[in-house]
A and B are shown apart, each in its own frame.
Chain A
Amino acid sequence: GESVGLHLPTLSVQEGDNSIINCAYSNSASDYFIWYKQESGKGPQFIIDIRSNMDKRQGQRVTVLLNKTVKHLSLQIAATQPGDSAVYFCAENMADLYSGAGSYQLTFGKGTKLSVIP
């Protein structure tokens, strides 16, 4: 079946530099995407989301870019800090076609581990 995958399993970045984490998705019908951050011993934490009618969305120090032509999603973190060290997951929305109630499932990628070098 279709799935979400990540280009880079690990990423090391110098503190203060910008980080870019990439994600490829294969379900062309997906219309909603989310980035999560997971720290050791904790659950995935919502960072930012984007709908398919947008190609860019900004949050606090984070930007998500969506390229539907090549089915690519990226997360940019500005001025990376030690507290940003974590595993980052992208997830795509698979609409629930059976319930008809607008509920949805998420398909997660395998994750990228970001290590920030002080």
Chain B
Amino acid sequence: DAGVIQSPRHEVTEMGQEVTLRCKPISGHNSLFWYRQTMMRGLELLIYFNNNVPIDDSGMPEDRFSAKMPNASFSTLKIQPSEPRDSAVYFCASSLKSSNQPQHFGDGTRLSIL
């Protein structure tokens, strides 16, 4: 079975550019999560969706970050304009929308902003 699929795997761009990260959750999962991982701060939850609706975006660093989930099989995380401090690995995870269910992660997008 296909797991969570993220693209691109690597992204290198100059500061000021728009960056769009993509995620396809596991089929049948109705909760989707975006995380950022850095050495200094570990795994941080940015935003999560239930049934395509954003539930909690309190982890989104600032207005430069936005996320959408237009349908059950696709989500995007956008950074505009990007800054060097946004460099990190961004993970998408999905789960069944019920308590006590594990989240399953993609292999992430390694983002480098020059």
A interface residues, Cβ below 8 angstroms from B = 31-32, 34, 36, 41-46, 49, 51, 89, 93, 95-96, 98-99, 101-106, 108-111
CA distance in complex: A10, B48 (Å): 31
A101 lies within 8 A of B97 (CB):
yes
Contact of B102 among A46, A103, A110 (CB under 8 A): A46
A96 touching B100 in the complex, CB below 8 Å, given contacts A44-B43, A106-B45: no
A104 lies within 8 A of B99 (CB):
yes
Tell me how many residues of B have a C-beta within 8 Å of chain A: 24
- B17 beta carbon closer than 8 Å to chain A: no
A110 touching B104 in the complex, CB below 8 Å, given contacts A32-B99, A103-B50: no
B-side binding surface: helix, strand, loop or mixed?
strand
- The distance from the CB of B19 to the nearest CB of chain A, in whole angstroms, is 19
Task: Enumerate chain A residues within 8 angstroms of B48, measured Cβ to Cβ.
Answer: 103, 105
A93 touching B100 in the complex, CB below 8 Å, given contacts A99-B50, A108-B43: yes
A93 touching B99 in the complex, CB below 8 Å, given contacts A43-B91, A103-B48, A108-B43: yes
B98 lies within 8 A of A99 (CB):
no
CA distance in complex: A26, B73 (Å): 35
A46 touching B104 in the complex, CB below 8 Å, given contacts A102-B99, A103-B48, A105-B56: yes
CA distance in complex: A21, B103 (Å): 21
CA distance in complex: A46, B91 (Å): 14
A-B contact pairs, 6 of them (CB 8 A): A43-B106, A44-B91, A44-B105, A46-B103, A96-B55, A103-B99
